[in-house]
Chain A
Amino acid sequence: MSGIFWHIGVFGALAVFLIVTIYRAIALARLPVHLRWELAPIPGEKGKGKYGGSYLEEYEWWKKRRQKSFFAPLKYMAVEIFLLRAIWRHNRALWPLTLSFHTGIYLVFAMLILSIVNAILIITGVPTSVLDVFLVITSIVALAGYLLGGLGAISLLLKRTLDANLRPFNSTSKYFNLVFLGAVFVSGAYSWFVLPDFALSLSQFIKGLVTLDAGVTVSFPLSLHVILASLFFLYLPWTDMIHFVAKYFTYHEIKWDDTPKDARMEKELEGLLSQPVSWSAEHVKADGKKSWADLTKKKTDEQEA
């Protein structure tokens, strides 16, 4: 396989990944505003977030200006994303395995970015000495990523299979996801060890892609790695592995959303409250026409009397 097929395969997979991921993110964002369901700790609560406090600890809180921290939530999420704080604190036996797995993913992603930079450096013709430095860094990051990711995938697979706590909850897709991603890591590691200059080969391949070079080629085993990675990008957005998107919503839009309604939300809520209800239980008294507001805002006859 050579030339245009690589462009179609790689760019096509990336395009599908981006389009479907963005579509799913937008679909989540466009769901109706829900009732408040916050959960401490909310790190954005300046001076209180650390111990789980909120602005509701203030006497007549509505008369006071809310003290919010911009950086505390970012710091909290950075520790959660890169060091897996929750697993460290509450599931220590799983932590080294999943940390290895996730760090592998982050490093391989960093390697991809570095390879794009290398491709640009090659195109712009920077001195070889500069390029060599970048290639060495890329090579180290790649090896670390593949080894950590591969080790993580295999150990998680074993843990899922052998741990009596996890086994009853496994599904085919849970195994398949780990095997698939594990194959991406292992094929990458294999390429790194087999090719005399893995980082340069990958960077030149990316250069061929970004310059739309019809003659771009890539040799085995890097070709296998690229194909597997592209297929994984095609598969990823259809699965629950895009929890990196969902996590934004579970934290920012639910657990940390403690903001009282404003005029804009009030307008949206009025629309939602005017929707018809069709729950069937007798006490709801819904008929498919009466709205939430009709059903909840009227006094009962006895109260009117």
Chain B
Amino acid sequence: MSKKLKIADIARDGDAPLTEINLEELPPLPPPYDKIDEQPEFKRLTAEQKERLVCNLDGVVSYAGLPKPKNKAEEKKYVEQFVSGLKKLLSKENNWTFLQPLLLSIDYCAQCQTCCDACPIYLGSGKNELYRPTYRSEIFRRLVNKYAKPGGKLRAKLNREDIELNWTTITRLYELSYRCNLCRRCTLTCPMGVDNALITREMRKLFSQELGWAPKELHEKGTVLQLDVGSPTGLRPNVAMDNLEFLDEEFGEALGIEIKTPWDKKGADVLLIHSAGDIISFPEGPISFSVLCNAAGINWTLSSEIPGYDGVNYGIFYDDVQLAKVATRHAQIARELGVKKIVMGECGHQHKAIMTVADRVLTGELDIPRESVVTFLEDIVFSGKIKFDPAKNDFPVTLHDPCNLVRNLGVVEPQRRILRYICPQFREMAPHGIENYCCGGGGGLSVMSDVNFTDWKAHVAGRMKLKQVLDAFADHPGPDVKKYLCAPCLNCKLQFRDIFDYYKVKERSGIIFGGLGELAVNAMVDVKKPLIKWEEE
């Protein structure tokens, strides 16, 4: 399929996809993943799916619930709603939250394309024009300028920036807004400070807040479920407590120590908010912090209030109202417990959501000090209260930098100081720190798995990261040497789980992944048995 894509193509050819993923066009992975015929097959849409679903972008569907209008009148209604949303994005009342950054990014892009080669999705796709970070931004810029600003239609014609707004445009734009990790690596390179990720998030916001369109994993089964029952995982408070009680016992026996996780302790110094996804999928993480906090003598607690035991906040990916609702509840719970500070669990977007982005929503008594788990852990590790034996971690370890923790918060060195201390074979991947590649699951993509979206995430979005991880262990490529990828973020781990399962990375390369807390507990002198296990039990 031709890659010579024009901006105006977004509105053309109705239901036909603009491009399709061709595995031969993707950049090669290192051996033994370099043979295309040995790579997992990319699931193509069936004829029935093509008939039933809106699938006019790239042969991938991230949201099967996108409505198909029955007639022209219904199409027109959606288009009018979209224009109404564009105007609200430019209003102080409805979008004070991001008005200034949005206007600056809309109005001052020099179109130099400097940002494109920074995008891991664009690179991972073999530079497919559709995934160029400026492609979706430029479409949106032209739509804003034409439909939401005075004299826009005339200016669009004179300036040869005319763009048609129809059903095809908005549905493709919706899907395209979920082909971005919001990692802001492009913004890092922009001489103007223009932010394509912000524009993408504003697009998602318009679709969610005006048309009610959002991936079910982020909205219906995300923030809505979290505010309703406590967690997007569906984990209710009593079940969360039961689960952890069980895990305390199980891991206590496995490690040969007593583990007790405190709940709802009024007046505790620290409210630790894990992600419930960690409790379910990666329980070594929460258990590690129970072990570490208890061993360091910290007066801490978890909360069983809805949604105080799940720190995720998917609102940051698509919706300001949902973002503020979840962040506010977290702060209210901390206030009711009377804690001195909230400590984020190992989850990048949770950090960004409540530590910085929602800082200007949490006013008055809700402004409770909030701290990263990484600095919290660094204080524990170097406090001298716990003895560590780095020899227990004598295997190759590399660090994945979650974008939201590192590039977006500036928490870069504490995790490295810990790793350099407790992991003798720690090595960096390249590039790292604030120039890291996103895992490919950022921007909420890691929890999205509708139709064939996982195939796209594994083949395209996570490609550059997988290559980086394999390159970091290039001195021990085979499965005989066991290696550990430290990813202190739930969403990144979910993405790694998908990629590693997809390519059988554990079996073929001997790499497992996990958090930072696990490495600390694994190195504790007082913990007699290893926490990190190389084989499933």
Report whether A279 and B138 are in contact in the complex, using a CB–CB cutoff of 8 Å: no
A132 to B135, CA, bound (A): 54
Known: A39-B184, A281-B212. A260 touches B359 (CB 8 A): yes
Interface residues of A in 229-287 (CB under 8 A from B): 240, 243, 246-247, 249-251, 253-255, 258, 260-261, 265-266, 269-270, 272-273, 275-284
Least Cβ–Cβ distance between A171 and chain B, in angstroms:
5
> Which bucket holds chain A's interface residue count?
35 or more
Least Cβ–Cβ distance between A84 and chain B, in angstroms:
7
Report whether B184 and A36 are in contact in the complex, using a CB–CB cutoff of 8 Å: no
Interface residues of A in 54-99 (CB under 8 A from B): 54-62, 80, 84-87, 89-91, 94, 98
A128 within 8 A of B: no
A300 within 8 A of B: yes
Report whether B358 and A35 are in contact in the complex, using a CB–CB cutoff of 8 Å: yes
A210 within 8 A of B: no
Q: Which residues of the partner chain A approach B81 to less than 8 Å between Cβ atoms?
A: 280
Q: Which residues of the partner chain B approach A7 to less than 8 Å between Cβ atoms?
A: none
Known: A40-B412, A91-B112, A243-B192. A280 touches B210 (CB 8 A): yes
Q: Which residues of the partner chain A approach B188 to less than 8 Å between Cβ atoms?
A: 39
- Whose C-beta in chain A lies nearest to the C-beta of B81? A280
A170 within 8 A of B: yes
A220 within 8 A of B: no
Known: A168-B7, A272-B96. A57 touches B413 (CB 8 A): yes
Least Cβ–Cβ distance between B368 and chain A, in angstroms:
10
Segment from A26-34, A109-117, A118-126, A135-143 that makes contact with B:
A26-34
Interface residues of A in 155-172 (CB under 8 A from B): 164-166, 168-172
Q: Which of B98, B357, B369, B407 contacts A40 (CB 8 A)?
A: B407
Q: Which residues of the partner chain B approach A59 to less than 8 Å between Cβ atoms?
A: 371, 375-376, 378-379
A266 to B208, CA, bound (A): 28
A85 to B188, CA, bound (A): 12
Report whether B328 and A297 are in contact in the complex, using a CB–CB cutoff of 8 Å: yes
Least Cβ–Cβ distance between A147 and chain B, in angstroms:
23
Known: A168-B5, A246-B104, A250-B194. A36 touches B227 (CB 8 A): no
> Which bucket holds chain B's interface residue count?
35 or more
A64 to B315, CA, bound (A): 31
B364 within 8 A of A: yes
A292 within 8 A of B: yes
Known: A53-B412, A57-B375, A61-B371. A36 touches B116 (CB 8 A): no
B433 within 8 A of A: yes
Segment from A13-21, A44-52, A183-191 that makes contact with B:
A44-52
Q: Which of A165, A266, A275 contacts B93 (CB 8 A)?
A: A275
A129 within 8 A of B: no
Q: Which residues of the partner chain B approach A170 to less than 8 Å between Cβ atoms?
A: 111
- Whose C-beta in chain B lies nearest to the C-beta of A243? B108
Q: Which residues of the partner chain A approach B116 to less than 8 Å between Cβ atoms?
A: 165
A141 to B414, CA, bound (A): 49
Report whether A303 and B184 are in contact in the complex, using a CB–CB cutoff of 8 Å: no
Least Cβ–Cβ distance between A300 and chain B, in angstroms:
6
Report whether B111 and A166 are in contact in the complex, using a CB–CB cutoff of 8 Å: yes
Least Cβ–Cβ distance between A16 and chain B, in angstroms:
19
B70 within 8 A of A: no
A171 to B138, CA, bound (A): 11
- Whose C-beta in chain B lies nearest to the C-beta of A92? B114
Report whether B104 and A254 are in contact in the complex, using a CB–CB cutoff of 8 Å: yes
Report whether B363 and A266 are in contact in the complex, using a CB–CB cutoff of 8 Å: yes
Known: A35-B360, A40-B410, A250-B194. A278 touches B138 (CB 8 A): no
Q: Which of B138, B211, B321, B410 contacts A57 (CB 8 A)?
A: B410
Q: Which residues of the partner chain B approach A269 to less than 8 Å between Cβ atoms?
A: 360-361, 363
Q: Which residues of the partner chain A approach B320 to less than 8 Å between Cβ atoms?
A: 35
Report whether B107 and A240 are in contact in the complex, using a CB–CB cutoff of 8 Å: yes
Of listed A54, A98, A284, residue having the most chain B CB within 10 A: A284
B261 within 8 A of A: no
Q: Which residues of the partner chain B approach A279 to less than 8 Å between Cβ atoms?
A: 85, 88, 94, 209-210, 321
Least Cβ–Cβ distance between B59 and chain A, in angstroms:
22
B65 within 8 A of A: no
A281 to B356, CA, bound (A): 26
Q: Which of A34, A38, A87 contacts B112 (CB 8 A)?
A: A87
A280 to B321, CA, bound (A): 12
A36 to B84, CA, bound (A): 26
Of listed B101, B194, B198, residue having the most chain A CB within 10 A: B101
B425 within 8 A of A: no
B160 within 8 A of A: yes
Interface residues of B in 346-404 (CB under 8 A from A): 355-361, 363-364, 367, 369, 371-372, 375-376, 378-379
A282 to B413, CA, bound (A): 43
Q: Which of B138, B189, B192, B406 contacts A247 (CB 8 A)?
A: B192
B110 within 8 A of A: yes
- Whose C-beta in chain B lies nearest to the C-beta of A282? B212
Report whether A35 and B159 are in contact in the complex, using a CB–CB cutoff of 8 Å: no
Q: Which residues of the partner chain B approach A226 to less than 8 Å between Cβ atoms?
A: none
Q: Which of A57, A62, A247, A299 contacts B329 (CB 8 A)?
A: A299
Q: Which residues of the partner chain B approach A52 to less than 8 Å between Cβ atoms?
A: 406-407, 410, 412, 433-434
A51 to B406, CA, bound (A): 10
Report whether B412 and A60 are in contact in the complex, using a CB–CB cutoff of 8 Å: no
Interface flags for B209-243 (1: CB within 8 Å of A; 0: not) read 11110000001000010011000000000000000
Q: Which of A51, A284, A297 contacts B433 (CB 8 A)?
A: A51
Least Cβ–Cβ distance between A61 and chain B, in angstroms:
7
- Whose C-beta in chain A lies nearest to the C-beta of B367? A261
Q: Which residues of the partner chain B approach A35 to less than 8 Å between Cβ atoms?
A: 97-98, 320, 357-361
Report whether B113 and A247 are in contact in the complex, using a CB–CB cutoff of 8 Å: no
Q: Which of B227, B321, B363 contacts A284 (CB 8 A)?
A: B321
Q: Which residues of the partner chain A approach B160 to less than 8 Å between Cβ atoms?
A: 171-172
Least Cβ–Cβ distance between B37 and chain A, in angstroms:
31
Q: Which of B189, B322, B356, B359 contacts A283 (CB 8 A)?
A: B322
B161 within 8 A of A: yes
B99 within 8 A of A: yes
Known: A247-B192, A281-B211. A169 touches B407 (CB 8 A): no
- Whose C-beta in chain B lies nearest to the C-beta of A175? B160
Report whether B409 and A28 are in contact in the complex, using a CB–CB cutoff of 8 Å: no
B92 within 8 A of A: yes
Q: Which residues of the partner chain B approach A283 to less than 8 Å between Cβ atoms?
A: 212, 219, 224, 321-322
Least Cβ–Cβ distance between A253 and chain B, in angstroms:
7
Report whether A171 and B159 are in contact in the complex, using a CB–CB cutoff of 8 Å: yes
Of listed B110, B193, B406, residue having the most chain A CB within 10 A: B193
B324 within 8 A of A: yes
Interface flags for B187-210 (1: CB within 8 Å of A; 0: not) read 111111111001000000000111
B117 within 8 A of A: yes
Known: A54-B411, A278-B93. A90 touches B117 (CB 8 A): yes
Of listed A28, A87, A171, residue having the most chain B CB within 10 A: A171
Q: Which of A86, A265, A296 contacts B189 (CB 8 A)?
A: A86
6 closest pairs, A vs B, by CB? A54-B410, A250-B193, A52-B434, A86-B191, A296-B324, A281-B212
6 contacts between A and B (CB under 8 A): A59-B378, A260-B359, A266-B363, A269-B360, A275-B93, A296-B324
A53-B412, A254-B195, A280-B210 are known contacts; what are 19 more A-B pairs with Cβ within 8 Å?
A37-B357, A38-B356, A39-B184, A39-B408, A53-B411, A59-B378, A90-B189, A91-B117, A243-B192, A246-B104, A247-B192, A247-B193, A250-B194, A275-B92, A275-B93, A280-B85, A283-B224, A297-B328, A303-B329
